[in-house]
Amino acid sequence: MNRFTNLLSNWNNKPQYIVGIMTGTSLDGIDTALCRLQTIDNSITIELCHFMCSEYPTTMKENIVTLLNEPAPISMYSHIHHELSRVYAQCIRDLCTKSKYDMNSISAIGIHGQTLWHDPRQKNCTLQAGNGEVLAKILSIPVVSDFRSADVALGGTGAPLVPIFDKEYFSSDTDTNIAINIGGMANITVLPPRDSQTPIVACDTGPGNVLIDALCMKYYNIPFDNNGEYARNGFIIHEMLQELKSHLFYRTPLPKSTGREFFGQDYADYLCKTYANYPPNDLIRTVTELTAWHITDHIARLSNNPGTMIVAGGGKHNLFLMKRLKENMPQLSLCSSESFGINSDAKEAMCFAYLCYRTLSGLPSNIPSVTGASREAILGSISLP
């Protein structure tokens, strides 16, 4: 019996230590979460053992930005696909060294990869860099990667994949909860009470931090609006807000997901040029207002009498954005995912450890009512050591 069949034969009998790696659209860093997962009475428990956010090596980040923003040679994609796995391997080594954890005890690794393209509706495709085979061979640990393709192959949008995680950890017995993640993009999951027959609804709602970050970089040469202070000191440019709100994405029916293809550097550059006569803080305030608006507008349209908004992702640290979310929906309570026992910075990395665990347990992870896929599927490609 090889190490993999041996692993699966014992899979459900004991806790599994799984690493999840998330690299989101913000490009702010590489999130690595070591989690302990176990199946108990048909539920999957998850406990975060160690978490680390590592900086992207500078040239790697520059290469990714080049790939995202301009036509680039295919050799560059191929190079990043391979090299990113080496970077991920180093993150896992660093995590083990820092936490004094024995790497041999890790059962498997789940990687999201770095999205380079995601446009399943128009072009029927999604592409994440980070090669599972390379990582599995470097560390001699099974890797699950490319979680989105199976759903896209079944006619789905391949995103968001986090709703199954939200369902497991943020559902209530009595209320409709809303899980919100504010990363580069923002997404929501509307979670009906646990035993309800109402289907889960979820989607990306629009740009989360990506426009705020781009404007901070352009005007102040810093990567984000720390605690939302620039926005707090700016004024809404009403004409700009109206224009931003008129983007077709917000009215696009579900299922829908989005990325830097629509809300990337070009869009930010256009805004800076068009509204160049206004103070920078007013532009930052206006895109912050946009994020608060599209999240709460989608919640209002997609949910019936919701109870609590549960926020995770880096946007949680933007205190002004949190204030505007709460003001837009005063009737809802607002809390961070910590209130439900999930570290809000580690949530998405934990989610990919969870998805990896489900795949190796033979469980499907997409929710067809969310993505539009024709059926449920076990997600990801498995790479063996």
Ligand X SMILES: Nc1ncnc2c1ncn2[C@@H]1O[C@H](COP(=O)(O)OP(=O)(O)O)[C@@H](O)[C@H]1O
> What residue ranges bind ligand X (CB under 6 A)?
24-26, 28, 183-184, 209, 212-213, 224-228, 313-315, 317-318, 348
Structural contact between residues 180 and 187, judged by C-beta atoms closer than 8 angstroms:
yes
With vertex at residue 380, the alpha carbon angle to CA 31 and CA 161, rounded to the nearest 5 degrees, is 60
> E strands within 120-176?
125-129, 143-145
Task: Work out whether 113 is an interface residue with Mg ion (CB under 5 A).
Answer: no
Would you tell me how many other CB atoms lie within 10 Å of the CB of residue 51?
Answer: 18
Among positions 17, 20, 25, 28, the unique one binding Mg ion when judged by CB under 5 A = 28
* 224 interface partner picked from Mg ion, ligand X, none, CB below 5 to 8 A per type: ligand X
- By C-beta, is 30 or 109 nearer to Mg ion? 30
What 3-state class would DSSP assign to 143?
strand
Stretch that binds Mg ion, among 18-26, 160-168, 206-214, 360-368 (CB under 5 A): 18-26
Q: How far is the CB of 361 from ligand X (least distance, A)?
A: 25
* 318 interface partner picked from Mg ion, ligand X, none, CB below 5 to 8 A per type: ligand X
Among positions 16, 20, 24, 157, the unique one binding Mg ion when judged by CB under 5 A = 24
* 184 interface partner picked from Mg ion, ligand X, none, CB below 5 to 8 A per type: ligand X
* 17 interface partner picked from Mg ion, ligand X, none, CB below 5 to 8 A per type: none
Q: How far is the CB of 379 from Mg ion (least distance, A)?
A: 21
- Phi, psi angles (nearest 5°) of residue 188: -130, 150
* 227 interface partner picked from ligand X, Mg ion, none, CB below 5 to 8 A per type: ligand X
**For tokens 């019936």, what's the residue?**
304
Task: Tell me the C-alpha distance between 113 and 30, whole Å.
Answer: 10
Task: Tell me the C-alpha distance between 323 and 181, whole Å.
Answer: 16
- By C-beta, is 103 or 272 nearer to ligand X? 272
Task: Tell me the C-alpha distance between 310 and 343, whole Å.
Answer: 12
* 368 interface partner picked from ligand X, Mg ion, none, CB below 5 to 8 A per type: none
Distances (CA, A) of 16 to 138, 170, 278, 340, 349: 20, 22, 54, 21, 16
- By C-beta, is 142 or 184 nearer to ligand X? 184
Where along the sequence are the contacts to Mg ion (CB under 5 A)? Answer: 24, 26, 28
